[in-house]
Amino acid sequence: MAASASFEEFYAATVDRLLGHLFLVTGDLHLAEEIIQEAFTRASMRWSHLRDYDRPEAWVRRVAMNLAADRARSLRRQTRALLKLGPPPAMPDVSVETLALVQALRTLPVRQRQAIVLYYLADLPIAEIAQALAVPSGTVKSLLARGRRALAAKLGEPEEVFDRA
């Protein structure tokens, strides 16, 4: 993004993409919307600095991923305490196969979900995923391997078919 870009231009160019990523990480459209709004609000407060970054989107994505991880930990505690009395997650209209994938993703630890989304959907290289998640590259490879294995098992499909095209 050009250093001269306004926050409005940056927002218009990136918000949809990041919302899609966050939906897959959270498995809940409303939660994804909330997290995206918070991440971009923080970006707006720092835009005079962020506008000079090579890729301010990476900053917003990192903030959003951290918020998603915090929320996942918080939800896990609440779930234990409340025995899942909350409302069901908000889900867009998708095919049965894709719904199964989203539901299977939700059962994975949040770090595995993040690694899978950033690798397969955001198409980021391992080193960049490591930076976004603040973990070593080896950890990203391990998160991907475990996530692929778990997803394949939950969906009843062979793991080999996860090869990145």
Partner 1 sequence: MSELRERLQEAADAAIREGRTPTAAVLVTRGRRRRLRLAGDGPA
CB count within 10 Å of CB 124 equals 19
Q: Cα-Cα-Cα-Cα dihedral of 13, 14, 16, 21, to 10°?
A: 160
Rounded-to-integer distance, Cα 111 and Cα 74, Å:
14
| Residue 59 · residue 43 · CB < 8 Å | yes
Cα dihedral sign for 114, 160, 107, 19? Answer: positive
Q: What stretch of H or E contains 72? A: helix 56-82
Q: Report residue 45 as tokens.
A: 């407060």
Pick between residue 81 and residue 144 the one whose CB is nearest to partner 1: 144
Rounded-to-integer distance, Cα 10 and Cα 32, Å:
19
Pick between residue 70 and residue 157 the one whose CB is nearest to partner 1: 157
Residues near partner 1 (CB under 8 A) are 7-8, 11-12, 15-17, 19-21, 23-24, 29, 32-33, 36-37, 40-42, 44-45, 92-95, 97-98, 101-102, 116-117, 120-121, 151-152, 155, 157-158, 161-165
In the complex, minimum distance from the CB of residue 88 to partner 1, in angstroms, rounded to a whole number: 15
In the complex, minimum distance from the CB of residue 87 to partner 1, in angstroms, rounded to a whole number: 16
Pick between residue 81 and residue 161 the one whose CB is nearest to partner 1: 161
Pick between residue 67 and residue 151 the one whose CB is nearest to partner 1: 151
In the complex, minimum distance from the CB of residue 125 to partner 1, in angstroms, rounded to a whole number: 15
Rounded-to-integer distance, Cα 139 and Cα 144, Å:
9
Pick between residue 52 and residue 157 the one whose CB is nearest to partner 1: 157
In the complex, minimum distance from the CB of residue 35 to partner 1, in angstroms, rounded to a whole number: 11
In the complex, minimum distance from the CB of residue 110 to partner 1, in angstroms, rounded to a whole number: 16
